Structure 1
Amino acid sequence: MFVGMIVGGTLVLLVVLFLIVTYNTLVRLRQRVQNAWSQVDVQLKRRYDLIPNLVNAVKGYAQHEKETLDRVTQARNMAIAAGSVAEQARAENMLSGALKSLFVVAEAYPELKANTNFLQLQTELSDTESKIAFARQFYNDTVQNFNTEIELFPANLVAGMLGFAMVDYFTLREEAEARQNVQVTF
């Protein structure tokens, strides 16, 4: 009877230790996902801050291109207001398309392409796009680790009991766009 109590106590202790270790692992991974998203968010904010300056630089040269400039501004505002990862991905797709249109418009203005302020903004935006791509990749890698841990047995039992849920990846909607680098050329 004493041996049975020791075995039972040991089993209970092992289960409790397993629950603690699994819970702590899931919390650590969830925090990494949140940190990774905040890194994406920082880079997106930098991009959003650059866009009004870029629009103003183009506006001075291309005043009759109001529709394109308005689309860029509207897409930026939608991206800023996006709530979920899926909404953010959709808004970023729209913003990327609007920025491409803006740069196509800028191609028609040689004096704009030679403007040092515009060239500096173009360089900063290109650098920011690279940082966004890296931050997205880091976020998605972190999400993969978290989601994998949630799905693995027996951690999936603990995750289900404690309310840990799968996290969405930050993906581009169109496959063709996902395979292209964002390029700003003049």
Structure 2
Amino acid sequence: MNGKVIIPIIAVVIAIVAMIAINFEQPETMEVEDTVNKELDPIEETIPEIQEKLEDIEKINLENEYTPKEREWITSGPFQIDRTEYVLGEKIFLRIGGLDYEEKGQVVFLKPKNSTHYEVYLSIPFDGAEKPAFNYYLQPQLSKSSGYCSVDEFVGEWRVVFRGTDYPNLEFKIINKILPGDEESYQPVC
């Protein structure tokens, strides 16, 4: 009799457990609003102050747009510079190649002092017996100790003179525009 009573009790317990399990077994999902296919409605009226700020930002971006000029390679004998015009902050690339063994002198960069006179900014010695070819980068920088206080010191027509040779001078211009991102380097220092 014990066996006959236990089997129905076990069957009832299994049935109850199965029903409880079925009732409590729900998928673990959440309802999420489908926003992929929905469009965002543009604001019909833009607030005038916001529109004005957006226009100012766009104007500044257009003013600061910068593309370096193509390299032109202006040549005088074995000496070359890469452009005829630079903005403040651009490096001037001097390339010297093919110096004769006996050629010796100085490459002198002359900056404008006023509308008729120049002064030496930098002098670079060369000697074909020691080194027949080399490159040099120059970037005019403000310096309180050198007396270069503002961008006005650099803007204008420059000359490159080759002392100790008969090669003609080279000329280039630095314009009153600063390379974007370099503005802080050209704040007056004196």
Query: TM (normalized to structure 2)?
Result: 0.33
More strand by share: 2
Query: TM (normalized to structure 1)?
Result: 0.33
The structure with the largest alpha-carbon Rg is 2
Higher relative contact order (Cα pairs below 8 Å, separated by 6+ residues): 1
